[in-house]
Chain A
Amino acid sequence: MVNMEVDLGGLKMRSPVATASGTFGYGFEYVGAVDYSKLGAVTAKGIRLDPWPGNQMPRHAEVPGGLVNAIGLQGTGVEHFLKYTVPWYRKQVPDVPMIANIWGGTIEEYAEVAARMGDAVDAIEMNVSCPNVKAGGHTFGQDPEVLCKVVSAVRATTKRPLLVKLAPNVPSITPYVRACEDGGANALSLINTIPAMVIDVETRRPVLANRTGGLSGRCVHPAAVKLVYDAHAVTKLPILAMGGIYEAKDAIEFFLAGATAVAVGTATFTDPGVVAAVYDGLTDYCERHGFASVAQLTGALSTE
């Protein structure tokens, strides 16, 4: 029996497989289609202080090997989230921890959303890297000094495990990792979508109403593995790795590169069975390669 439990910066997970924010609603939408017994956590869709309408339509474009989206963080706001969404999720899914993904337009907003979450959720993931909302989000993830301030501000308001979801489009991940460490983060989430654009050549117009969006899906996986590898090389913070996981092999690459846990995202849209297939494939891999626990896979890359 392989031990599949992992500790993601204080978040105890019975499985190292989670879901990625924005691809799994508020956690309960896939009940019936996804095998929740093989999930270690769900990450809810981004929540800010007040309701947010998101972008105009169209909000997505299918591309070879992936998906470009500019949903724009539509959400009901933290009050509705705590009053209705979280209780409904706990009722539907009583035994899978919820990671709340939060964002804001100012440092104070981030801190207030986190404070309001209190102990209602099991961990908090800060989105400082959404490419689709100008008012906030990614601006905090593009300057290490600002990033450190916003992480510190959130840290001061919550005792829950704190993850920071970083942008992939930086020259070096190291200063951002340091900023998270200095700010008191417990773990890193890597990667957010990669800024992208699709143009309809017949109309000469951008396909997305937001003009640009974020690329996810199979095609981003090698870029994500490299960033996880880079980050793991410079920090002891555990990493929740995501980006193009479609099968167990994709997840195993992340573990070998340094991940402690993984999140399935875009793949679930096509196949809600990916979560279970990744869990089963990971178990099988550990057995075949003589790993007693999945935790031993973390950083087990051979570079000889």
Chain B
Amino acid sequence: MAINEKSVVASHEDAGPGYRFLVLEAPRLAADLTPGQFVHVRVPGLESTALRRPFSVFDADAGRVTLLYKVVGRGTAALSKVLVGDTVEVMGPLGHGFPSSSKGVPLLVGGGYGVAPLHFLAKRLKDPRAILFVGGRTKDDLLALDRFAALGVDVRIATNDGSAGEKGFVTGPLDAVLDGLRARGETYELFTCGPDGLLKAVADRAVAAKMPGWISMDRHMVCGVGACYACIQKTVRGNSRCCVEGPVFRAEDLVW
């Protein structure tokens, strides 16, 4: 059941060039959210007819909900201006998230601000085997690495320009680890969030290896609760709603 909580901004800080951490005092949501679910934010400062904006959750702990977002358009530009102490209406918890445990080695693959739900996931999985693969165009797109380090997560990096980690796509270091796991006959699960190209690359690998793949889709949304049917993702079951049947889908269910 979704609630609409009037939260208060506890902090709002830069998370990198063009990226922001928004921390909200939202005790009801913080208690109920699980990794991979999203919240629907009524952005203050937009005219009242503008739609809400969906965000995945970076962290939900001790009465606070943390969002990690990139300023990309009108909605996030307005959101970037909210101040500590402002009230922000947040609806949630919404959608189906990631599973709460991983049978095999958890491999988390994130692109840019797609690492947001993977941080919440890593924190809840508490699995010492977890590896995060993170990619970006440059080192400026590598976010919250200190927060992953604090969780004890092994982090592997790739950037398109080689300014940090391996040069190229994040599938480079991922494939190296997959080869090793396969050689040792170990099972694994893939969890991913990021640009569509990355999601498809990860989903393809999960399906080909017959390993579980959990793909978090990012779609423009209207209602966020399954009422309007605007955020459709094609799946083997037809036109599924990203906001209800997703945003996390099984790799083998997605039709690209």
Contact = CB atoms under 8 A, between A and B. Distances in A.
Contacts of B227: 23-25, 29-30, 45, 268
A45 B52 contact: no
B51 A32 contact: no
Given A33-B2, A64-B47, A219-B49, A69 B225 contact: no
Contact of A269 (B89, B222, B232, B238): B222
Contacts of B225: 25, 29-30, 33
Interface in B35-50: 42, 47-50
A69 B220 CA distance: 13
A272 B239 contact: no
A24 B223 CA distance: 9
Contact of A218 (B1, B49, B219, B226): B49
B229 interface: yes
Main SS of the interface on chain B?
loop
Contacts of A62: 50-51
A304 B51 CA distance: 40
B226 A29 contact: yes
A265 to B, nearest CB: 10
Interface string B21-57: 0000000000000000000001000011111100000
Given A60-B220, A74-B239, A271-B42, A22 B228 contact: yes
Contact of B228 (A57, A71, A218, A219): A71
Interface string A49-66: 000011001111010111
Contact of B49 (A31, A53, A60, A270): A270
Contact of B220 (A58, A65, A219, A272): A58
A270 B42 contact: yes
A67 B222 contact: yes
Contact of A66 (B2, B49, B219): B49
Interface in B219-248: 219-220, 222-223, 225-230, 232, 238-239
A12 B228 CA distance: 26
Contacts of A23: 223, 227-228
A59 B48 contact: no
Contacts of A22: 228
A217 interface: yes
A273 B239 contact: no
Interface in A73-130: 74
B36 to A, nearest CB: 20
Given A32-B3, A273-B4, A60 B47 contact: no
Contacts of B239: 53-54, 74
A254 interface: no
Contacts of A31: 1
Contacts of B232: 54, 57, 59, 74
A59 B47 contact: no
B148 to A, nearest CB: 33
A140 interface: no
17 contacts: A25-B228, A29-B225, A31-B1, A32-B1, A33-B2, A33-B4, A33-B91, A33-B225, A53-B239, A60-B220, A64-B49, A74-B229, A74-B232, A217-B49, A246-B48, A269-B223, A269-B228
Please name the 7 residue pairs, one residue from A and one from B, whose CB atoms are nearest each other, closest first: A25-B227, A32-B1, A29-B227, A60-B230, A218-B49, A29-B225, A59-B230
